[in-house]
Structures are given as structure tokens and as C-alpha cells.
Amino acid sequence: MKIVLPDGKEMEVTQGTSGEDIAKAISLSLAKKAIAYKLNDEVYDLSRPIEKSGKFNLILIGDKESYDVLNHSTSHLLAQAIHHLYPEAKFGFGPAIEEGFYYDIDFKNPVSEQDFSKIEQEMQRLSQQNYPIVREVISKEQAKELFKDNPYKIELIEGIDDEITIYRQGDFFDLCAGPHVQRTGQIKNFKLLSLAGAYWRGDVKNKQLTRIYGTSFFSKDELEKHLTILEERKKRDHRKLGKELELFMLSDFGPGLPFWLPKGYQLRRTLEDFWLDLHRKNGYVVVETPIMLSKELWEISGHWDHYKEDMFITNADEKEYAIKPMNCPGAILVYKNSLHSYKDLPLRIAELGHVHRYEASGALNGLFRVRTFTQDDAHILLTENQIGDEIERIIKIYDYVYSIFGLNYHIELSTRPEDNYIGDIAVWDRAEQDLIRVCKATGKEFKINPGDGAFYGPKLDFKLRDSMNRIWQCGTIQLDMQLPGRFDCTYIDENGQKVTPVMIHRACFGSIERFIAIITENFAGAFPTWLAPVQINILPVSPQVHGNYANEVKEALEKENIRVVIDDREEKLGYRLREAQVQKVPYSLVIGDNECHNGSVTYRAYGKKEQTTVSLQEFIALLKEEIDNKSFNK
């Protein structure tokens, strides 16, 4: 066998040579840093023999994949500790996830976060034992015998057609495809974080298990840094900030149905106005479609068969209606209202569409997961040969919008689901290739997310990374070659023939609610001046003496469409200044004797201690430039 090293050199490999052997042959110091290896982009245990030729890469401590291997191994260490402390517990599965791991466990008696200390102590003891973590290939019959007392593992085994592997460490073994670190002693710096209920395999019809979340790092410093970030995230929780800044409220009278308070509505409206202006400038027409439409429409679209369980359904005039969970059928009816030729395409139909979805009550989470939200939707009807140019235009819009909020992203291509999809596989394959071709043509890197496409087409998902290093699913571009045909949408081509158009579904924010939650936490509630619900807080030193000029300043600012309030409470100036900082108002203006006499203002920016005095007109010019440029707060 021959392997190709990263520098392009070829190496002959004999039968039984492991990844660790290769690492040592290259460099002993390199071998000490190695955690696993990749052969043809598939990750293997470092100790596993190389079984075929291909491109070889070592995964070293610090590489992204190294944390996946470490965290997955730590989930097994957790399971071993649970096995010792709670011998009647039954295990589901425990994968690595972004920034950590979890394990779903069926406990005979409930456990709580107060038990974490005891579990961590046992994990540390097992780490010190430094057990080798050994991979074994077994038959399906052997696997069923080993896990005969665990219905969850038996279910997983029944679904495995390839070889079945287990991993042993000391007295514990688990069904797993790997890879893992070589010994438990490599797992030293970990922390259990939280627990939650989780239905087995994500199905609400199954039993709810206990999901324990944790995280693991190669060094103590990395772990402590991450735990500090987690504490900061708690302070930035949009539910906490939403209450403190009076942005929105939730009520038991409408679970998952947020109420927008005056400041939150202003924030939302500013965001919507920005969106509307941007889309009109980019050739979109804006529409509004009904919130409730008949069952027949949803049957044609396919939602009734594929999405009914997530829809709110009612009756009127002896007919069934559904409150819309998506805007696309309404956009199609708008398209069908007129005749179209190829000269009209692409036709870009945008809508801030209010939708409802029957989310499980246990999944509701502030503005992140709600039952009613506004999608910043657009549906673009176009010809097949316009797909590449149009998606490139969309990506440019997304690049601009995300840069405004300081959010980076990566792209994932979600392909055809294994089942519960509509249309021919050949059409799906062509649509997926179209998306791949556009990504490559625009120089955008992407990774494949198999089976996660919408039921009507593949999609590009835009995963945003915020200031706290978290990943959020927001933007999407979905290529649909199914729904236009189901609704008999046509246009007249150059030859006078009726042709079915292609449709692109796309949303940049994803939803207004979710995006506001993300940027609230991203900015820790200190929104950029252009977006802040209140942009200026005027503080007269003495409301009786300086109140008239304070009102003059307020009127001058309001004429420039600047959002301003006066805090003229009978409180000390220092108290009111601190209150403005707590409310994260971008600028506080202090009005005293000098300001009244000179027609000036003294301003203090949020988060700063220094104060600056300028003329009122200078301040207005400074402020308008910052708002027009949509600058970040310094």
C-alpha cells in the first residue's frame, strides 16, 4: 500500500502499520502531539492499522478534529463513571458536538446537577487509571448478546448493516464507531455543564431520557477560558437582557408567542426597515399574503402530508384551514396572478411573512424557539440558466448584511432527505450539483450536511459565528424544482412555449425574532447606535434650571429622526448616568450651565468614562454619520 503525505511525498506501508507508526517514522515529537489520523478524509484511531492506500494526514492536538475525538472519548468516560455509580442506568448514545459532548441516559431514579461533582470525581479516578481504549470488531449476534439488557443499543444494532465495533476501557464497553484517544489518561480537563430532557432519537413518541452535557479540553487553561466564556454567555442571555432592557415579554397565556414592548418594537421595526430598503434596492417586489389558507392549498404544496403535525389547524365554513407555517405557497399564488414571459425573470418576491409552527412546549426557548415568528422571506422564480447568477447575487446580499452585524459564517450544503421528500431523485441530484457549482464559482467553501434538505429541495445553510464563538443557523438558500410544477406555474420562453420555472426560497435573518435574540447576545444588549431603541439620553443637571434647553436639544435631534429621551427625574446626575449605562443607551448628553450658555452638548458614549463637549450641530453631524454608516459602537 502507498500513502501520500501532506507534503506530497509517497510512503510504502506494510500490513499492520498503524497511524502511530507513521507518526513516529515522521517525527517522535510529532507523534506525541498526534491524536488520530485521517485517510482519504475519514478519521481513524491513531492505533488502527492502515488498510488501504490514500491521502494521509495526522490530526494533532489543537486541530478541530482533535477536539471532536477528545470530546467523544470524554462522553465514554462519563458513561463509564455512570456505569459505576448508577449500575442500573441504560445508555443511549453520546456524540461530540460543537464545543463539547453529551450522553443520553435512562436513569432508574432521577439525577440532578448536584450529582455532577460526584460523577466528575469518578471520571477523574478513571482517568488516573489510564486504561487503554481498545477497538474490537464483533458480529451482530455478539453485539446483541453483549447489549441484551439495553433496548436502546439493541435498536441501534438492528439498524447497522456495516461492521459492528465496540470500544473497551477497563471494565466498561460501549457500542461505537469511534474514533477515540488511546488511553483514558489523556482525558484530564473536563467539566459537566448541564442536563436536560431528550426524547430517544429525537422522537416525541419515544421515552424521554436524561441528556448530560459536558466539555473537554487538552489543557487546564483552555478549559478555564471556555468556562469563563460560558459565564459571559449567561450574562448575555437574551431572555435576561430582554427583560432588563424592556424589549419583549412572554406570557403563560400564549406559550411561545412573544409580546414586543415599545423598545423591542422599535428595535424590530428598525431592523425591518433596513431589510425592506435593502431589498427594494436589489430588485425585489414586496408583498403580504394571508396568514391562514385552506387545506387544499397545503395539499398541493405537500405541506399537508409532510408538515401537518407542525401546523395549527382550524375550521371555517365547514372547511379545514391551516395557519401558515411557511410563506412559499402564498408567494406562488402571487406569481400565478399574472402571466409571465422569460423577460420578467428572475421575479423576486419578498415578504416579511408572519408564520406559526406548533413547536413542542419543552423546546420553546425565549426568541430562539417560538411558535410564531416573522420570516424575512423571498421567493425567486427564474429559469434554470439563471440559477448561478441569482445565487451569487443573494450571497452578496448576505455578505453585506452579516458584515453589518460583525458576524462571520460558513456554508453547509444540505442534501436530499432519506425519506419524506417529494420529486424525482434525478431532479434532486441536478439541483444539488447546481448548488455545488455556484459555491465553487463564487469561491465559497462549504461542507456537506447529508439528508438535511427541505422536503422539496436541497439548500445552502449559512451558519453564523457570534462574538461568543457560538454557531447559529440563520440564512438559507433553498433550490426548489418541485413546487412550481405542483402549482402549474409557467412562463413563456423565447420560442413562445410554456415552461415551468425554478424557485429559490431564501431568508437572510432566518426569522426576525431569532435574529434579534442572536444580535442581542452578540452585542450584549449594547446595540450599535443606528439600531438602538433609544439612541440618546439627555440628562439636565438641574431639570428646573436646564430643562428648557434640554427640550430644545431633544427637538433638534428628533427633527433628524434620532430617537431620544430626557431623564429629568429628581435624582442625582451620577445616578442617572449610571442608569443610562445600565440601559446601554449609546450616548448620554449632560446639559448644564455651560451647555445652555454656549449652545453645546457634553456627551458620553456607552462604556466610556470620558466626556466630550461639542456644539449641538457638531454632535448631530457626528451622530448622523455613525447612523448612516451603520458603524459599530467603539
Residues designated catalytic: 328, 357, 375, 377, 379, 459, 505
- For the chain, count helices (H), then strands (E): 20, 33
| Whether 45 contacts 36, CB under 8 Å | yes
Query: Residue written as cell 406559550?
Result: 255
Q: 524-543 as b/e, with b when 16 or more CB fall inside 10 Å?
A: bbbbbbbbbbbbbbbbbbeb
The pairing of strands 34-39 and 54-60 is: antiparallel
Helix (H, G, I), strand (E, B), or coil: what is residue 88?
Answer: coil
Please give the Cα distance from 231 to 423 (Å, whole number).
Answer: 47
| Whether 377 contacts 327, CB under 8 Å | yes
ω into residue 179 within 30 of 0, thus cis? yes
The pairing of strands 312-316 and 292-294 is: unpaired
Residue 387, burial from CB neighbour count under 10 angstroms (0-12, 13-18, 19+): buried
Please give the Cα distance from 36 to 61 (Å, whole number).
Answer: 9
| Whether 517 contacts 483, CB under 8 Å | no
Please give the Cα distance from 300 to 305 (Å, whole number).
Answer: 10
Identify which of 237, 523, 197 has the alpha carbon closest to the alpha carbon of residue 367. 237
Please give the Cα distance from 552 to 562 (Å, whole number).
Answer: 14
Please give the Cα distance from 262 to 248 (Å, whole number).
Answer: 8
Please give the Cα distance from 486 to 209 (Å, whole number).
Answer: 41
| Whether 75 contacts 23, CB under 8 Å | no
- Positive or negative: CA dihedral 192, 193, 194, 200: negative
Q: At what angle do helices 262-281 and 387-404 cross, to 10 degrees?
A: 140
DSSP 510: S
Contacts of residue 43, defined as CB under 8 A and 6 or more positions apart, other chains included, come to 36, 37, 59, 65, 68, 69, 179
Query: Residue written as cell 455478539?
Result: 142
